[in-house]
């Protein structure tokens, strides 16, 4: 954790913004005082792994994890949106059924985490819950759904997930599915945006009061979502094409469109979306083989998982990972801030889902972002918006719209 003495902060900041009020508080004190949330935590994937204890201290070097309670404490992370992630399988009845069951179990795992440690975690479903929970010194657990594939073609299931606490939903992941086009499907677009069922999904999510998430979706899906959704859309973990032209990132005109509609973008720290990285075919091959063996880790024993992790470490030693750096991450962040403004920008670093850059490999490093943004001249109020208020505003708008439908016309 960086400790900024007053003079260090002033030296880093542009003179004009180094106001006496700001100079009175260190960057760390400001960070600590804010409700700090990340809109895309993939940690629930670890919760179902035998042997993983979120209350214990871990290191990335040791087990590749990036979020646990001790590291949340040292990085001042109060919580955020914990994702029910589903990988994209076949768009068939059998595929829907299997992923529905896995998604339900993932939702249960999040509830079990909260139930097992009521003094540490609290489930959040309402916009005002975040602040209340943070005030109690507990971790905020909103639930999101990354990839709506498990819903199959039965949108009533979205209501089931809503009742389980889900307040954010994204239609697709790496490949096209029944709801629309992915930004990264190797076969290209299938619908030219949302499918008819995808359009129904937008309507249903609006009716329930869920935030719609367009990360992973094709640009045309984002455009459709902006046009169709009654409330602003989020990109919960995305970057900018202006810094690196990758399909997972958005260009400035589309970002401006999102912002004009009230939407927000939370900046991803996924290395290979931040910049062009040298290709290491040997490493790719070794990892490809490892991932094949990994399969469903929830069904493995702790020993089997430990053996796979040892193999992964061996690969990393023989073919070291090349990652983007904290500065690469900040290049995306600062550009997005310039285009979208601090009321439309946040953090969604994809922890435990492939995120993490050199010098920011786990949530313990989050105060660096606050330090850097203060040094760039952003205010304490901007930081409060970036770290939490923007996402909560979207949740409030989603809720208000859903409630407006219930009132007699
Ligand atoms: Zn993702």
User: What does the pLDDT look like over 376-392, one tens digit per residue?
Assistant: 999 999 999 999 999 99
* pLDDT at 23 > cutoff 80: no
**What is the Cα–Cα distance from 230 to 290, expressed in whole angstroms?**
43
Query: How many angstroms is it from 268 CA to the middle of ligand 1?
Result: 9
Whole-number pLDDT of residue 409? 67
Query: How many angstroms is it from 274 CA to the middle of ligand 1?
Result: 14
Whole-number pLDDT of residue 17? 45
Domain positions in the chain are: 6-277+327-406, 283-322
Whole-number pLDDT of residue 24? 58
Tokens of 24: 């009175």
Query: How many angstroms is it from 10 CA to the middle of ligand 1?
Result: 37
Alpha carbon distances (Å) from 383 to 333, 367, 380? 13, 11, 5
Whole-number pLDDT of residue 321? 86
Alpha carbon distances (Å) from 326 to 8, 252, 274, 365? 19, 22, 10, 10
Query: How many angstroms is it from 120 CA to the middle of ligand 1?
Result: 26
Query: How many angstroms is it from 216 CA to the middle of ligand 1?
Result: 7
Whole-number pLDDT of residue 284? 87
From first CA to last CA, the distance across the chain in angstroms is 54
Query: How many angstroms is it from 270 CA to the middle of ligand 1?
Result: 9
Query: How many angstroms is it from 135 CA to the middle of ligand 1?
Result: 29
Query: How many angstroms is it from 399 CA to the middle of ligand 1?
Result: 24
Query: How many angstroms is it from 352 CA to the middle of ligand 1?
Result: 10
Model confidence band, residue 102 (pLDDT cutoffs 50, 70, 90): very high
Alpha carbon distances (Å) from 306 to 50, 68, 280, 302? 10, 18, 25, 6
Query: How many angstroms is it from 38 CA to the middle of ligand 1?
Result: 13
Q: Cβ atoms within 10 A of the Cβ of 304, count?
A: 16
DSSP collapsed to 3 states, the chain: CCCCCHHHHHHHCCHHHCCHHHHHCCHHHHHHHCCCEEEEECCHHHHCCCCCCCCCCCCHHHHCCCCCHHHHHHHCCCEEEEEEECCCCCCCHHHHHHHHHHHHHHHHHHHHHHHHCCCCEEECCCCCHHHHHHHCCCEEEEEEEECCHHHCCCCHHHHHHHHCCEEEEECCCCCCECCECECCCCCCCCCCCECHHHHHHHHHHHHHCCEEECCCECHHHHHHHHHHCCCCCEEEEEEECCCCCCCCEECHHHHHHHHHCCCEEEECCEHHHHCCCCCCHHHHHHHHHHHHHHCCHHHCCHHHHHHHHHHHHHHHHHCCCCCCEHHHHHHHHHHHHHHHCHHHEEECCCECCCECEECECCHHHCHHHHHHHHHCCCCHHHHHHHHHHHHHHHHHHHHHHHHHHHCCC
* pLDDT at 204 > cutoff 80: yes
Whole-number pLDDT of residue 41? 98
Query: How many angstroms is it from 186 CA to the middle of ligand 1?
Result: 17
* pLDDT at 259 > cutoff 80: yes
The average pLDDT across 50-58 equals 94
* pLDDT at 20 > cutoff 70: no
CATH number of this structure's domain 6-277+327-406 = 3.20.20.140
* pLDDT at 125 > cutoff 60: yes
pLDDT 10s digits, 233-250: 999 999 999 999 999 999
Query: How many angstroms is it from 87 CA to the middle of ligand 1?
Result: 10
Whole-number pLDDT of residue 290? 86
Query: How many angstroms is it from 383 CA to the middle of ligand 1?
Result: 24
Query: How many angstroms is it from 353 CA to the middle of ligand 1?
Result: 7
Query: How many angstroms is it from 18 CA to the middle of ligand 1?
Result: 37
Query: How many angstroms is it from 350 CA to the middle of ligand 1?
Result: 7
Query: How many angstroms is it from 4 CA to the middle of ligand 1?
Result: 33
Mean confidence (pLDDT) of the chain: 93
Query: How many angstroms is it from 169 CA to the middle of ligand 1?
Result: 12
For the chain, percent of residues with pLDDT exceeding 70: 94
Query: How many angstroms is it from 198 CA to the middle of ligand 1?
Result: 19
Model confidence band, residue 408 (pLDDT cutoffs 50, 70, 90): confident
pLDDT 10s digits, 268-320: 999 999 999 988 889 889 988 888 887 777 788 888 888 888 888 899 889 88
The average pLDDT across 129-137 equals 98
Query: How many angstroms is it from 351 CA to the middle of ligand 1?
Result: 10
For the chain, percent of residues with pLDDT exceeding 90: 81
Query: How many angstroms is it from 404 CA to the middle of ligand 1?
Result: 31
Query: How many angstroms is it from 266 CA to the middle of ligand 1?
Result: 12
């Amino acid at each position: 954790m960086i400790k900024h003495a007053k003079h260090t902060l002033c030296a880093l900041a542009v003179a004009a913004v180094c106001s006496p009020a700001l100079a009175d508080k260190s960057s760390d004190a400001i960070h600590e005082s804010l409700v700090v949330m990340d809109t895309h935590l993939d940690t629930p994937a670890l919760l179902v792994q035998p042997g993983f204890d979120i209350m214990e201290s871990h290191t990335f070097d040791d087990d590749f994890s990036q979020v646990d309670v001790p590291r949340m404490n040292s990085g001042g992370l109060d919580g955020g949106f914990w994702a029910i992630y589903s990988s994209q399988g076949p768009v068939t009845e059998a595929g829907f059924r299997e992923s529905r069951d896995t998604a339900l179990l993932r939702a249960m795992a999040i509830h079990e985490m909260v139930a097992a440690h009521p003094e540490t975690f609290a489930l959040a479903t309402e916009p005002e819950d975040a602040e209340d929970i943070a005030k109690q010194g507990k971790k905020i657990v909103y639930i999101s759904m990354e990839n709506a594939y498990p819903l199959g073609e039965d949108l009533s299931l979205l209501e089931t997930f809503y009742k389980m606490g889900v307040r954010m939903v994204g239609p697709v992941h790496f490949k096209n599915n029944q709801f629309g086009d992915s930004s990264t499907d190797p076969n290209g677009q299938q619908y030219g945006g949302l499918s008819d069922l995808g359009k129904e999904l937008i309507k249903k999510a609006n009716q329930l009061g869920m935030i719609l998430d367009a990360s992973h979706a094709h640009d045309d899906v984002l455009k459709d979502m902006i046009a169709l959704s009654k409330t602003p859309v989020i990109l919960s973990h995305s970057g900018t094409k202006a810094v690196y032209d990758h399909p997972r990132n958005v260009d400035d005109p589309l970002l401006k469109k999102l912002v004009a509609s009230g939407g927000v973008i939370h900046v991803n720290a996924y290395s290979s979306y931040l910049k062009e990285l040298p290709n290491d075919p040997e490493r790719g091959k070794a990892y490809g083989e490892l991932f094949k063996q990994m399969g469903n880790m929830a069904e493995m024993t702790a020993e089997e998982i430990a053996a796979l992790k040892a193999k992964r470490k061996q690969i990393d030693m023989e073919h070291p990972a090349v990652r983007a750096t904290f500065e690469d991450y900040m290049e995306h962040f600062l550009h997005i801030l310039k285009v979208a403004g601090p009321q439309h920008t946040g953090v969604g670093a994809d922890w435990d889902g492939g995120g993490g850059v050199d010098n920011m490999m786990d949530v313990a490093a989050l105060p660096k972002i606050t330090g850097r943004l203060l040094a760039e001249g952003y205010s304490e109020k901007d930081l409060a918006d970036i770290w939490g208020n923007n996402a909560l505003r979207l949740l409030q708008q989603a809720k208000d719209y859903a409630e407006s439908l219930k009132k007699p016309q």
